[in-house]
Structure 1
Amino acid sequence: MKTDADPEKLQRETFGYFLHETNPANGLVIDKTAADWPASIAATGLALACYPVSVERGFMPRAAAVERTLNTLRFFWNSPQGPEPDATGYKGFYYHFLDMQSGRRAWQCELSTVDSAFLLAGALTAGMYFSAATPDEHEIRTLADALYRRADWPWAQNQGATVTHGWKPESGFLDYRWEGYDEALLLYILGLGSPTHPLSGQSYTAWAATYRWEHAYGQDYLYAGPLFTHQLSHVWIDFRCIQDAFMRDKGIDYFENSRRATYVQQQYAVDNPFKFEGYGRHCWGITASEGPGPGAGEMKGIERQFFDYVGRGVPYGPDDGTLAPWAVVASLPFAPEIVLPALQYCIHQAKLTQFNAYGFKASFNPSHPGNPGNPYGWWVSPWHYGLNQGPIVLMIENYRSGLLWQLTRNCPYIAGGLRCAGFTGAWL
């Protein structure tokens, strides 16, 4: 298939989400494009990482990016930190969802450790990029450093070996912990690198002890079902040719592991064990995403069960025919030879950038007809999500220039965290 998909155009269109779906007064980015929806701290952290890209690519003037970044960091530094149920954060971490205007906790949500990690990674990125000797850029560096230093990582362990998912003022720590290979790779590295409240090396060892090494569709790899779990830590960290103890034993690195996971996704779609419509060599990408459910129905003689938002995965499911084009884009650095043809399909055959202000909608399902009269002929999510938009902008940039990876290579906290986790090799 001819691959004339234009990643730069998609990158520019997608960045529009952060230009227009942000409260410029406090920098908070809406979680999804629905009425009266709250901000997501993860989306806000991704926005902080996207502003350097916007300057480099001419999507936003440097002065405007500095102003937006500074307003965001000032808000988080000055917002209420404490055990009160309507605060913005506690112990240097932040609530998953915040009111777009007041910045206070929304929906009685949890104080989220991993979403706080994405926010802090974005802040550190901004601190590395905005390096000019001006008062505003100096303040960006100062605030980014202070926000990172404030996070109390051992507190988030709640006296256990691994890190908890979060905490609520009404009920205390959540029962779940970050165990099994997933996006918490970034969380542990940030926690290990802290100069003020660091995790111990034993916490990383305890986390890695819960890994699952598997074989699927011709690939031996470190398993995680949803595709995004093989991507989000890689937005910030260049894992090429650096290895921890686990990867040294396997003879690969986390970058190669994500390449293999990407190929598993494609081959699963080619195999298409449940015979969903559309699946194939150029149409794949199964991850945590919104879907057309909950509901069931007979589609072309097959009884189908459809889900709403769920952690779809490969090869063990759940799988209801829902695909996420953003997750395909986020694998661009790992396997451009199969990602670019898939983008070609999504843009030109599936027309998933038509009728949209910000590039791809979140997900689509060719096996579900959607609402009558919809312009696609199948179900397409009506929303954009900030958590999806950021990796599109950033992984296209890592594919084009490696900008994010270059910035974080020079961040002493991230390099120190990697060394504490036992990583060696290449740029370390």
Structure 2
Amino acid sequence: MIRISLLLIAFTFLSCGSNTDKSKEVSKEDTVAEKLSDEQLLDAVQKQTFKYFWDYAEPNSGLARERYHPDGVYPENDANIVTTGGSGFGLMAIVSGMSQGYVTKEQGVERLNKIADFLAKADRFYGAWPHWIDGNTGKVKPFGTKDNGGDLVETSFLVAGMITVREYLKEGSENEKAVAQKYDALWKGVDWKWYTNNKNVLYWHWSPNYKWQMNFALEGYNECLITYVMAASSPTHAIDAKAYHEGWARSGGIVSAKTKYNTPLILKHNGAEEMGGPLFWAHYSYLGLDPNQLSDKYADYWKLNVNQVKINYEYCVENPGKFEGYGPDYWGLTASYSRNNDGSVGYDAHMPSNDKGVISPTAAVSSIVYSPKESLALIRNLYENHKEETWGNAGFYDAVSLQNKWTAKRYLAIDQGPEVVMIENYRSGLLWKLFMNAPEVKQGLVKLGFKSGKYGF
């Protein structure tokens, strides 16, 4: 089943001189842009996209806004609504920003401390945070009528970021160690076991009003692998390995024999068994969890993700829908803002089996670790040939359709975050190293039957 709960989001230059001089300046800048090396180009994208989590964060909490609209027009006046999962990606982005020198370590630690203090006071439900939080009050903002309590999947994305922050700061100054301890205490407060509802599977939601009525068992394969890893890694409220094997892996039913473009899918993609799901499934769980040389009895996770990206890419190159622009330098289908048939803006999980002619830049950009050549081709094409319509003050806009001459000039935390994090992992491997070397993470992975040649277990 595709992640339905994600699909219902409410909705110069400065110069002086003659005109001739200005023309020269524009020509010079164009030339410089065209001549950016791959490393310079990636740095430009990473640095600009980082602004989403720094310059455009929700001001009171310091957390990531659910969405950022540069025009200042928001649905339901929700400019101060923060997203739990996107904020987890944002924590990793802030670590990346400090490492790259986009902000000083002192600035980063100050922001991280502010975030930790806010989260400590925010609404929690058996330790899990809700999907959306009011950035002014810390109170839950319902994601849906019955989705007004704990969201375990979003919490797992947040917790992965917390562990990454802790590992980055734990050997630092006294102030840095103090912030690291705050994040350590926060993640240890999540009662993962509660969210099994006394069964051998994890459940996505629990509400103080509706209890278990959402009834969304986490069964693979989709973006939720990290939820089981975090639940098994908890030193305070760990789940039994049976929940992973019987619930997530469906007692082996997760394995797929399907192939597309002569490429094995390896695992059954829920609701997308023929050609694979939206590409965020290859991103969200793997921002900290390093799939390199990572395997269990169900899959080699590097091959799993590389293959999903390859199928997505090959589909776009084949372009059965004959959409304008699709090809080796214009590809990538995942969940993002979308253009409805009536021309209105919505949200959709784009994938080969649900292609509306909308390319989401995060799909290819965040796949840089799996498909560097193909991802760089998309990045360079957008940056050099379509910059005016696709590039804004927080990086590439969320979605574009050359077919319809349309761009969603908006941003979502869950799309911008993986871009920053995966570019960092491609450039340095930093966030993978921090997360994977956390002792609890190693113990949790071993408990579930994982092996990693890269990290020695």
Which bracket does the TM-score occupy, shorter chain normalised? 0.7 to 0.9
1:118 maps to 157
Secondary structure of 2:346's match? coil
Secondary structure of 1:98's match? strand
Q: Deviations over 1:152-183 (max 9, x none)?
A: 11211223322112122221221222112121
- 115, 129, 133: which one aligns with 1:98: 133
1:159 maps to 198
- Taking only aligned residues, the RMSD between alpha carbons, in angstroms, comes to 2.0
Residue 262 (str. 1) matches residue 309 (str. 2) = yes
Q: Which amino acid aligns with 2:245?
A: T
Q: TM-score, structure 2 length as denominator? A: 0.82
Q: Which amino acid aligns with 2:350?
A: R
Structure 1 CA distance for aligned equivalents of residues 96 and 367 of structure 2: 18
1:279 maps to 326
Displacement of 1:8 in angstroms is: 0.6
2:113 maps to 70
Residue 327 (str. 1) matches residue 363 (str. 2) = yes
Displacement of 1:132 in angstroms is: 3.8
1:192 maps to 232
1:276 and 1:401, CA in 2 relative to 1: closer, same or farther beyond 3 A?
same
Q: Deviations over 1:288-339 (max 9, x none)?
A: 111111537xxxxxxxxx982122222xx21111110111111101111211
Residue 204 (str. 1) matches residue 244 (str. 2) = yes
Structure 2 CA distance for aligned equivalents of residues 419 and 19 of structure 1: 35
- 282, 285, 308: which one aligns with 2:346: 308
Q: How does 1:223-234 map to 2 (within 5 A)?
A: 223=269, 224-234=276-286
Displacement of 1:349 in angstroms is: 2.3
1:336 maps to 372
Structure 2 CA distance for aligned equivalents of residues 278 and 307 of structure 1: 21
Please identify, of 23-32 and 416-425, the stretch whose mean Cα deviation from structure 2 is larger. Answer: 23-32
1:182 and 1:69, CA in 2 relative to 1: closer, same or farther beyond 3 A?
same
Displacement of 1:278 in angstroms is: 1.5
Unpaired runs of at least 5, structure 1: 80-87, 248-252, 297-305, 369-377
Displacement of 1:3 in angstroms is: 8.7
Structure 1 CA distance for aligned equivalents of residues 37 and 389 of structure 2: 15
Q: Deviations over 1:241-274 (max 9, x none)?
A: 1211112xxxxx2112111111111110111122
Displacement of 1:16 in angstroms is: 0.8
1:216 maps to 260
Please identify, of 317-326 and 6-15, the stretch whose mean Cα deviation from structure 2 is larger. Answer: 317-326
Secondary structure of 1:90's match? coil
Task: Assess if the C-alpha contact under 8 Å between 2:221 and 2:254 holds in 1.
Answer: yes
1:362 maps to 398
Q: TM-score, structure 1 length as denominator? A: 0.88
Structure 1 CA distance for aligned equivalents of residues 360 and 433 of structure 2: 28
1:202 and 1:353, CA in 2 relative to 1: closer, same or farther beyond 3 A?
farther
Task: Assess if the C-alpha contact under 8 Å between 2:359 and 2:401 holds in 1.
Answer: yes
Displacement of 1:25 in angstroms is: 4.1
Task: Assess if the C-alpha contact under 8 Å between 1:352 and 1:361 holds in 2.
Answer: no
Secondary structure of 1:236's match? coil
Displacement of 1:392 in angstroms is: 0.8
Displacement of 1:353 in angstroms is: 6.8
- 26, 29, 52: which one aligns with 2:61: 26
2:23 maps to none
- 84, 88, 105: which one aligns with 1:45: 88
Q: Which amino acid aligns with 2:110?
A: E
2:437 maps to 410
Q: Deviations over 1:124-174 (max 9, x none)?
A: 111000134433212222111111111111211223322112122221221
Q: Deviations over 1:368-390 (max 9, x none)?
A: 2xxxxxxxxx1111211111111
Structure 2 CA distance for aligned equivalents of residues 236 and 425 of structure 1: 14
1:311 and 1:96, CA in 2 relative to 1: closer, same or farther beyond 3 A?
same
Structure 2 CA distance for aligned equivalents of residues 352 and 149 of structure 1: 45
Task: Assess if the C-alpha contact under 8 Å between 2:121 and 2:138 holds in 1.
Answer: no
Task: Assess if the C-alpha contact under 8 Å between 1:269 and 1:284 holds in 2.
Answer: yes
Structure 1 CA distance for aligned equivalents of residues 180 and 37 of structure 2: 39
Displacement of 1:73 in angstroms is: 1.1
Structure 2 CA distance for aligned equivalents of residues 143 and 76 of structure 1: 10
Structure 2 CA distance for aligned equivalents of residues 168 and 98 of structure 1: 15
Residue 58 (str. 1) matches residue 127 (str. 2) = no
Report how many aligned residue pairs link the two structures. 395
Structure 1 CA distance for aligned equivalents of residues 198 and 357 of structure 2: 41
Q: Structure 1: which 4+ aligned runs deviate by more than 6 Å?
A: none
Task: Assess if the C-alpha contact under 8 Å between 1:192 and 1:199 holds in 2.
Answer: yes
Displacement of 1:197 in angstroms is: 0.8
Please identify, of 336-345 and 59-68, the stretch whose mean Cα deviation from structure 2 is larger. Answer: 336-345
Q: Identical aligned pairs, as a percentage? A: 28
Task: Assess if the C-alpha contact under 8 Å between 2:222 and 2:281 holds in 1.
Answer: yes
Secondary structure of 1:281's match? coil
Q: Which amino acid aligns with 1:410?
A: N
1:299 maps to none
Q: Deviations over 1:189-246 (max 9, x none)?
A: 0000111111110111121234252211120123441011011111101121121111
Secondary structure of 1:245's match? coil
Unpaired runs of at least 5, structure 2: 1-33, 270-275
Please identify, of 25-34 and 328-337, the stretch whose mean Cα deviation from structure 2 is larger. Answer: 25-34
